[in-house]
Amino acid sequence: MRIKTLVLASAIAAAIAMPGHAKELRFAFQGTLNSFDPYNLNETFHLGTFGNIYEGLVRRGADMAIEPALATSWEVLEPTRWRFHLRKGVKFHNGNAFNADDVVFSAKRVRADGSDLKSRIATDTKVIKVDDYTVDFVTSQPNPILHFEWGTWYIMDKEWTEENDAVAPQSVGGETENYATRHANGTGPFMLESHESGVKTVAVVNPNWWDNANKEHNLTKVVFTPIGSDPTRVAALLSGQIDMAYPIPVQDQQRVADNSGTSMLVGPETRTIFLGMDQFSDELLYSSVKGKNPFKDKRVREALYRAIDIKAIQEKVMRGNSEPSSMMIAPGLTSISPTHFARLGYDPAKAKQLLADAGFGGGFEVGMDCPNDRYVNDEAICTAVVGMLAKVGVKVNLLAQPKAKYFPKVLAPNLDTSFYLLGWTPGSLDSWNVFNNLIGCPRMSDDAPIWNKADREKISIGKFNLGGYCNPKVDALASKILSETDKAKRDAMIEQAWAMTIDDIAYIPLHQQALSWGVSNKVKLAQRVDNVFAWRHVVMQ
Amino acid sequence: MVALVIRRSIQSVVVMLVVALLAFTLFRYVGDPVAMMVGQDTSLVERAALREKLGLNDPVPLQFARFVVNTAQGQFGISYQIGRPVAELLVERMPATLELSLVAALFALFIGIPMGVYTALNPKKWLSTVFLTISLIGISLPTFLIGILLILLFGVVLGWLPTFGRGEVVQLGWWTTGFLTASGWKSLLMPAFTLGMFQLTLIMRLVRSEMLEVLLTDYIKFARARGLSNRAVNFGHALKNTLVPVITITGLQLGSIIAFAIITETVFQWPGMGLLFIQAISLVDIPIMSAYLVLIAMFFVVINLIVDILYHVVDPRLRVDVRGAQG
């Protein structure tokens, strides 16, 4: 009798103790996680995932606001000297204490050879340890957005990295594996338990996280599986084998929404998709027009812009999952109202008129380059554009390729394109990044030719300005924007610069693509506009 | 026999070199690895430096020679993307592919042969027609479609089987096996069926046509005349003679199952070598691609060699010929 009671009691105890305590989040993404070295690859998914295990001096909240993380506060002592006060009592996952030595070490490591995140801190910026919990950054010129990208500059433990011989960042093309490739020691809310690239990555909760008092999440374990095949990923979500999957292809969104156990989270992303035109060559590389470049004429660019029916693309190609843009940046990342700049309206009659005025009344042929596996429905968008331009007399010969072939072709130094589709997210979530990469005049000096063949690999300003758009007034504004510390003045200059590029029709912006997350109804999470999945906001039932 | 082995081995080396050369030529058209290894903020100067460091600017014959020498020494290099030695990666992923291929091959064999025998012995029955129709469907539907339909039916609608992955695996030394766990077996069912489907139809039709032919031969007639039971005739004599070419084909097909598990692994997210290879292609991870191609070429070559030797051992007619030539 007693034994029976004992057995019954322990069974009840076990039943009470077991369920409900272990909250395991299982999710899938289309890409794989490669090396876990936080300076190895400057790519959103990697850096976003590492942000759950490592932390930087600052971090981005769910609404993208900059919050203190490993730094509790910071001040600008002089225009070129920033002082960061570090958080006390923080421990790395292996128990080591966090202090200024780790920050100085990480600053050196992120700028070392082999790091892909060198742009986080300028080479000539000095990093000075004032005391164990204070670090100064001395820049060569004022930079009001110095720390904007530091949410993804992760602080590593000096002692751990040195002990494990990982002081040099994982050198791509090297001869041996770096310890940091499969092991991580950060300060974040989760600790890496195991990592098999392309198979599974497992993280467990960090019981000693410094922010546990304010923690939102209730997870004990997170399991990530890469699932490259779209239908398999959707099926895994629908069957309940995983709790969250992204991205969900647009044609499956209705199914996920209709399914009783799951729902869709959609919203605009910070990525702008646009069309670029070669405006610097004297003769287009891929065109029937000889002896001159039609895209140098603003009327031709305007004609192409007006020939595109963005609403049709939004409804038919993107199935409603896009936000047509008038700017080359998501308006939410500026202080400009979304309705301030309007798109040039869809007007094929006017487009034909403009082409005739420019001397191309009979139309012309041009080659177009497009990736087919990089952006949401990229090839479909290009195909739609081809059809729309044909209606105004411009015959487009489309070449759509996988990104591995597309990018080497169109990017510098090859620039082997006349008309192309591209997408851009400014990593610092600030306009200057776009001016510096897409708008800036790509030439070595004011009188050098644009994209001069001999210097192509040395170009640093405008390195993604493949069309060679050049407006010195905008460049002058951009360099002022870089160092203007007064926010109101800076925002005004930004708006002015945008107005100029829009007036010039430097590019044809299309839309902001949309986030597409499929989530089980048992999971509550925060969807960030930069498509980063931060586990610390997840609450599971 | 020894002469045969030596001759074949030399041919194998030539085949491997040709494969290496073709693979190498192809890699120049797959895309730019550097573009896949860096982020958007990396300066053009650094990209150029990286290209130089990886030896991508060297003349093609030099790159090829370096590749052959390294491969011959078993140094496959470090993956551009994953940052780990390629040999380690392949060894880690091989058990998944081999287990899947083995189960698929056995499934095809043990279902295909009985089906083939049945359709040969009972050509007029309706079940034979059903089997033949199924085999036609199996040949015409592409692998990924079968896989996706199975996932939809058994994973999503019925919820009986897992939709992806390998389930729980047990580590035995350097081998990881899914055979020892229930979830491992459940995860194996659909991928093995998908992969083995084409093989099954092939074997079934092969057994059927071979058996029909054998059943018309003289020695079968004599056996029946002697009064042997149907079972003895059909299985003791006819099937045995049918199986020799079937085993040969199956052996040869084993190599292609291993190689073409790529599609099945992609659909089911099965963590094997094929999935590693296809991920490497989209990311232009040349060390993995070249190591995989060399490895698969070696599999094919070794399997062919074994099959040839076995054929000589098993088929007495060939042995007699050889001895006759020597005598």
Digit-coded pLDDT (tens) for B254-264: 888 887 799 99
SS3 A239: coil
Length of chain B, please? 327
Question: What is the pLDDT, as a whole number, of residue A506?
Answer: 95
Give contacts of B83 with chain A, Cβ < 8 Å.
34-35, 37, 40, 170, 172, 174, 177-178, 181
SS3 A305: helix
B78:A182 CB<8 A: no
Q: Assign A458 a pLDDT band (cuts: 50, 70, 90).
A: confident
A1, pLDDT greater than 60? no
Measure the CA dihedral A96/A97/A101/A104, to 10°: 90
The CA distance from A374 to A277, in Å, is: 19
- Of all residues in chain B, the one with the smallest CA distance to A424 is B40
- List the structure tokens of B120: 């040969």
- List the structure tokens of A331: 């308006």
Which tens digit of pLDDT belongs to each residue from B246-295? Answer: 877 887 788 888 877 999 999 999 999 999 999 998 888 988 998 898 88
Q: Are strands A322-324 and A66-68 parallel, antiparallel or unpaired?
A: unpaired
Tally Cβ neighbours within 10 Å of residue B210. Answer: 21
Give the residue from A505, A499, A500, A529 showing the smallest Cα distance to A277.
A505
Mean pLDDT of A224-234: 95
Chain A contact for B81 (CB, 8 A cutoff): yes
Give contacts of B82 with chain A, Cβ < 8 Å.
34-35, 181, 197-198
Interface test with A, best of B44, B45, B91 (most A CBs within 10 A): B44
B323, pLDDT greater than 60? no
Mean pLDDT of A110-115: 89
Give contacts of A173 with chain B, Cβ < 8 Å.
50, 53-54, 78, 80
Question: What is the pLDDT, as a whole number, of residue A18?
Answer: 47
pTM above threshold 0.90: no
A239:B159 CB<8 A: yes
Smallest CA–CA distance, residue B153 to chain A, in Å, is 10
Interface test with B, best of A120, A232, A252 (most B CBs within 10 A): A232
The CA distance from A264 to A248, in Å, is: 9
- List the structure tokens of A408: 């080497």
A457:B44 CB<8 A: yes
Mean pLDDT of A449-465: 90
Which tens digit of pLDDT belongs to each residue from B102-148? Answer: 999 999 989 999 999 999 988 889 999 999 998 888 888 888 899 99
Chain A contact for B38 (CB, 8 A cutoff): yes
Peptide bond connecting B61 to the previous residue in cis, omega within 30 degrees of 0: no
- A340-344, B164-168, B238-242: least confident range: B238-242
CB-based contacts of A321, cutoff 8 Å, min separation 6? A250, A253, A266, A376, A513, A514, A516
The dihedrals phi and psi of A177, each to the nearest 5 degrees, come to: -80, 140
- A53-57, A106-110, A377-381, B225-229: least confident range: B225-229
Question: What is the pLDDT, as a whole number, of residue A13?
Answer: 47
Question: What is the pLDDT, as a whole number, of residue A30?
Answer: 93
Q: List % helix, strand, coil for chain B (3-state, nearest 5).
A: 75, 0, 20
Which tens digit of pLDDT belongs to each residue from A412-426? Answer: 889 999 999 999 999
Question: What is the pLDDT, as a whole number, of residue A6?
Answer: 52
For the stretch A489-497, contacts whose Cβ atoms lie closer than 8 Å and that sit 24 or more positions apart, written own/partner, are A490/A144, A491/A334, A491/A335, A491/A336, A494/A334, A494/A335, A494/A336, A494/A431, A494/A432, A495/A334, A495/A335, A495/A336, A495/A340, A497/A431, A497/A435, A497/A439
H or E element, residue A400: strand A394-401
Interface test with A, best of B78, B270, B277 (most A CBs within 10 A): B78
Nearest by CB: B37 against A172, A235, A239: A172
Question: What is the pLDDT, as a whole number, of residue A173?
Answer: 60
Tally Cβ neighbours within 10 Å of residue A5. Answer: 9
DSSP string for A74-96: EEEEETTEEEEEEPTT-B-TTSP
A34:B46 CB<8 A: no
B44:A463 CB<8 A: yes
Tally Cβ neighbours within 10 Å of residue A348. Answer: 17
Q: Assign A280 a pLDDT band (cuts: 50, 70, 90).
A: very high
The dihedrals phi and psi of A299, each to the nearest 5 degrees, come to: -65, -35
Q: Assign B2 a pLDDT band (cuts: 50, 70, 90).
A: confident
Give contacts of B90 with chain A, Cβ < 8 Å.
none
Tally Cβ neighbours within 10 Å of residue B49. Answer: 14
Give the angle subtended at the CA of A456 by the CAs of A453 and A459, to the nearest 5°: 145
The CA distance from A86 to A498, in Å, is: 37
Nearest by CB: B165 against A177, A225, A457: A225
Chain B contact for A254 (CB, 8 A cutoff): no
Residues 145-174 of B with CB under 8 A from A: 148, 151-152, 155-156, 159, 162-165
Query: Is A414:A408 a contact under the CB 8 Å cutoff?
Result: yes
Chain A contact for B70 (CB, 8 A cutoff): no
Amino acid at B175: W
Q: Give Cα B195 to chain centroid, integer Å.
A: 9
Give the angle subtended at the CA of B56 by the CAs of B52 and B59, to the nearest 5°: 110
Smallest CA–CA distance, residue B297 to chain A, in Å, is 24
Query: Helices B240-268 and B286-314 sit at what angle, rounded to 10 degrees?
Result: 170
Chain B contact for A353 (CB, 8 A cutoff): no
Mean pLDDT of A317-325: 93
Mean pLDDT of chain A, nearest integer: 92
Chain A contact for B63 (CB, 8 A cutoff): no
Which tens digit of pLDDT belongs to each residue from A165-199? Answer: 889 887 666 667 889 989 999 999 999 999 999 89
Exposed/middle/buried for A78, CB within 10 Å: 0-12, 13-18, 19+?
exposed
Smallest CA–CA distance, residue B115 to chain A, in Å, is 31
The CA distance from B16 to B23, in Å, is: 10
Mean pLDDT of A67-88: 95
Query: Is A373:A355 a contact under the CB 8 Å cutoff?
Result: no
